[in-house]
């Protein structure tokens, strides 16, 4: 799971049941999961069947700066003789690319559905990648589901069925090129610490006050835990935990970043006693030079393990 997907899952869980944005956020999470499944199949196929003299480096879910925002590259390949950005679509139906207006729709069970144009998404990804690396980049749309069929192809970029993709990529090799793959790989890895995609709260016009605060019970998933007798106790299902606050802090980190003010920590964890708060924060945060501020120690695996069980 990438950072952006985790953001969506945490945001969905933290929005009140009847909040106007909740269904939209959930729809984005479902699309992200479907996309991630397609990207995973694509990367695994390339790792297994791509026949090149030198092995390509393959990255999934890369966010790069573009204009005043970000562009997402579903799958990025770095090779000494080419660079390629893939836009992976894990969809069913018949697909129609409007070559004149650059619009896109599909037909499923006789219904016509307008959608974001994969060609436009790929074009952003290619332009962002070219600007980021300073080199020419190939672009390809990949249909990862066998239940999808292209009726009208796009204008600017090829669209390839997943099974044929390795052969398509092998044709990109240009012996006249010689890229420093290790150097490019270093740029990608550094970018992952800098660019994590759009701020979902800003995107959905939400504020912190929109979200439910408190410590979540990981048994029933409700934000119903209270700190009593040195334990977190769920008032709904009765579960007891000594470290449920650590998960809540990781939720905070994924949404807002690692910087946590003492003032907001009281509210986020639902704690009133300062001595209890300092004790709870002791092992999972570090002190800052800024008065009244701590930094949460990142442990993203807590979120990944939790949401894998829910969305598997």
How many Å apart are CA 139 and CA 158, to the nearest integer? Answer: 8
Q: Does position 312 have pLDDT exceeding 90, yes or no? A: no
Q: What is the arithmetic mean of pLDDT over 23-28? A: 93
Global model pTM greater than 0.85:
no
| Domain 3-200, second-level architecture | 3-Layer(aba) Sandwich (3.40)
Q: Does position 168 have pLDDT exceeding 70, yes or no? A: yes
Residues of the chain with CATH 3.40.1350.10: 3-200
Q: Confidence band (pLDDT; 50, 70, 90) for 222?
A: confident
């Amino acid at each position: 799971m990438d950072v952006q997907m985790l953001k969506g899952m945490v945001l969905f869980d933290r929005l009140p049941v009847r909040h106007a944005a909740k269904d939209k956020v959930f729809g984005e999470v479902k699309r992200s999961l479907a996309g991630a499944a397609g990207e995973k199949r694509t990367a695994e196929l390339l790792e297994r069947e791509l026949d090149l003299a030198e092995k390509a480096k393959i990255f999934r879910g890369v966010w790069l700066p573009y204009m005043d925002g970000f562009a997402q590259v579903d799958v990025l390949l770095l090779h000494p003789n080419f660079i390629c950005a893939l836009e992976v679509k894990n969809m069913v139906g018949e697909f129609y690319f409007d070559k004149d207006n650059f619009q896109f729709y599909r037909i499923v069970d006789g219904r016509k559905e307008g959608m974001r144009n994969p060609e436009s998404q790929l074009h952003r990804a290619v332009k962002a990648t070219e600007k980021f690396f300073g080199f020419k980049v190939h672009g390809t749309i990949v249909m990862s589901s066998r239940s999808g069929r292209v009726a009208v192809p796009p204008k600017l970029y090829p669209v390839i069925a997943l099974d044929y993709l390795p052969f398509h990529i092998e044709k990109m090799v240009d012996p006249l090129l010689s890229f420093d793959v290790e150097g490019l790989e270093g740029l990608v890895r550094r970018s992952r610490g800098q660019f994590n995609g759009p701020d979902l709260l800003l995107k959905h016009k939400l504020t912190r006050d929109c979200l439910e605060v408190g410590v979540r019970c990981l048994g029933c998933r409700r934000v119903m835990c209270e700190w009593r007798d040195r334990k977190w106790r769920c008032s709904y299902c009765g579960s007891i935990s000594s470290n449920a606050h650590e998960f809540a802090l990781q939720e905070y980190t994924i949404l807002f970043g690692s910087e946590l003010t003492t003032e907001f920590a009281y509210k986020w964890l639902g704690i009133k006693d300062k001595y209890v708060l300092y004790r709870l924060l002791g092992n999972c945060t570090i002190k800052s030079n800024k008065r009244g501020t701590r930094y949460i120690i990142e442990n993203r695996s807590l979120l990944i393990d939790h949401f894998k069980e829910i969305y598997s």
